[in-house]
Amino acid sequence: MTAQVIDGKAVARQVREDVAKGVEQLVAGGGTAPGLATVLIGDDPASEVYVRNKRRSCVAAGMQDLHRHLPGDVGQAEAAALIDELAADPAVSGILLQLPTPAHLDSESLLARIPAEKDVDGLTTANAGLLAQGRSGLRPCTPSGVMALLDQYDVPLQGVEAVVVGRSVLVGKPMAQLLLERHATVTICHSRTRDLAEVCRRADVLVVAAGIPGLVGPDAVKPGATVIDVGIHRGEEGLHGDVDTAAVAEVAGLVTPVPGGVGPMTIAMLLANTLIAAKAQQGRSD
Ligand code: ADP
């Protein structure tokens, strides 16, 4: 069997077009275009690339790019003051603190200053708590991107066995909660899981976010399963994920490629979150 390959680029494009339409409607209805404040501290080249992509996508969707850059040696108090300023600014719908911040800064206490309603990365304790309690709030972008892919490809979730590999705050934990919200039977695996392949083989939907190249091979996949690879690693032959995709595609029913699977969805969901945040702040939630 050869699996169908999920086209994350196409789904992400659709989400971005929908967001752009939503922005147009908001403005046409007398609202203000959403503003995204990306905050970059220091000059890490990878972070610069990520932030540049986010800013471009934000402008392409008709939003205001309210980017701020602080030098790498900025003090904690000054960084905190910038977050507070953005928190108080009505033009700022969403605040994205690009991680990792330089080692001398306490990024958790900076994140904690972002008001939940402007936390478009869905990373604050408040939003994590809302998700854990099944209440509405801004959801982390990568796991909500995975949900959008599953929905776009009509993958059934109710009652199915879903296995999430990885328990990070950014991906694994919220991923499991989003799947649970949709009535999947969810198992979370991690580095101490006794027999990873055996647990993964139960999965109708397998989401892998462990940050270990090639961790999941065909022996860990149930025939016909949906396999979503959240990992991104830069190797000699370009980008690859946590899943041995070529071999797994012989067993699975549906797989994400790397690149071009989950990756493009993350920025698309960031834009979607920024629009949701702006509408809520302007009293236009639908
Ligand atoms: P991400 O940002 O993709 O969520 P992190 O590197 O923050 O990734 O976290 C890696 C996660 O993967 C951790 O939660 C850890 O529990 C899980 N993990 C690490 N090693 C293994 C392993 N061998 N098998 C399964 N899960 C693992």
* Domain map (residue ranges) of the chain: 32-115, 140-263
pLDDT score, position 237? 87
Considering only 90-94, 98-102, 160-164, 236-240, which range has the smallest mean pLDDT?
236-240
Question: pLDDT class for 1, splitting at 50, 70, 90?
Answer: low
Q: Mutate which of 190, 192, 262 to test ligand 1's pocket (most atoms within 8 Å of Cβ)?
A: 190
What architecture is the 140-263 domain classified under in CATH?
3-Layer(aba) Sandwich (3.40)
Rounded to 5 degrees, φ, ψ at 282 are -95, 10
Catalytic residues: 54, 98, 121
Answer yes or no: is pLDDT of 129 > 80.
yes
User: How far apart are the CA of 232 and the centre of ligand 1, in A?
Assistant: 12
Q: Mutate which of 121, 141, 165, 265 to test ligand 1's pocket (most atoms within 8 Å of Cβ)?
A: 165
Mean pLDDT of 64-92: 98
pLDDT score, position 286? 65
Answer yes or no: is pLDDT of 268 > 70.
yes
- Atom index in ligand 1 nearest the CA of residue 170 equals 4
Answer yes or no: is pLDDT of 143 > 80.
yes
Per the listing, tokens 């860990």 go with 220
Answer yes or no: is pLDDT of 5 > 70.
yes
Mean pLDDT of 258-269: 97
Q: Report H helices in the chain.
A: 8-28, 45-60, 76-88, 107-111, 125-132, 141-152, 172-181, 196-200, 245-248, 263-281
- Atom index in ligand 1 nearest the CA of residue 242 equals 3
pLDDT tens per residue across span 96-112: 999 999 999 999 999 99
> 140-263: same fold as 32-115?
yes
Answer yes or no: is pLDDT of 191 > 70.
yes
Ligand 1 neighbours (beta carbon < 6 A):
165-168, 170-172, 189-191, 193, 196, 209-212, 230
113 labelled ligand-binding = no
Structure tokens at 199: 């647990």
Rounded Cα gap, residues 207 and 266, in angstroms: 15
Instruction: Return the biggest CA–CA distance within the chain.
Output: 57
Report the amino acid identity of residue 92: V
Decide: 141 and 121 in contact? Cβ < 8 Å: yes
pLDDT tens per residue across span 195-234: 999 999 999 999 999 999 999 999 999 999 999 999 999 9
Q: Mutate which of 191, 193, 207 to test ligand 1's pocket (most atoms within 8 Å of Cβ)?
A: 191
User: How far apart are the CA of 99 and the centre of ligand 1, in A?
Assistant: 17
pLDDT score, position 285? 75
pLDDT score, position 168? 97
Answer yes or no: is pLDDT of 10 > 90.
yes
Structure tokens at 145: 């991107």
User: What distance lies between CA 68 and its chain's CA centroid?
Assistant: 21
Q: Is 12 left (phi over 0), alpha (psi -120 to 50) or beta?
A: alpha
Mean pLDDT of 11-30: 98
Q: Percentage of the chain surpassing pLDDT 90?
A: 98
pLDDT tens per residue across span 150-188: 999 999 999 999 999 999 999 999 999 999 999 999 999
Q: Whose CA is nearest to atom 12 of ligand 1?
A: 210
ipTM: 0.90
Q: Which fold does the domain 32-115 belong to in CATH?
A: Rossmann fold (3.40.50)
13 labelled ligand-binding = no
Rounded Cα gap, residues 199 and 165, in angstroms: 10
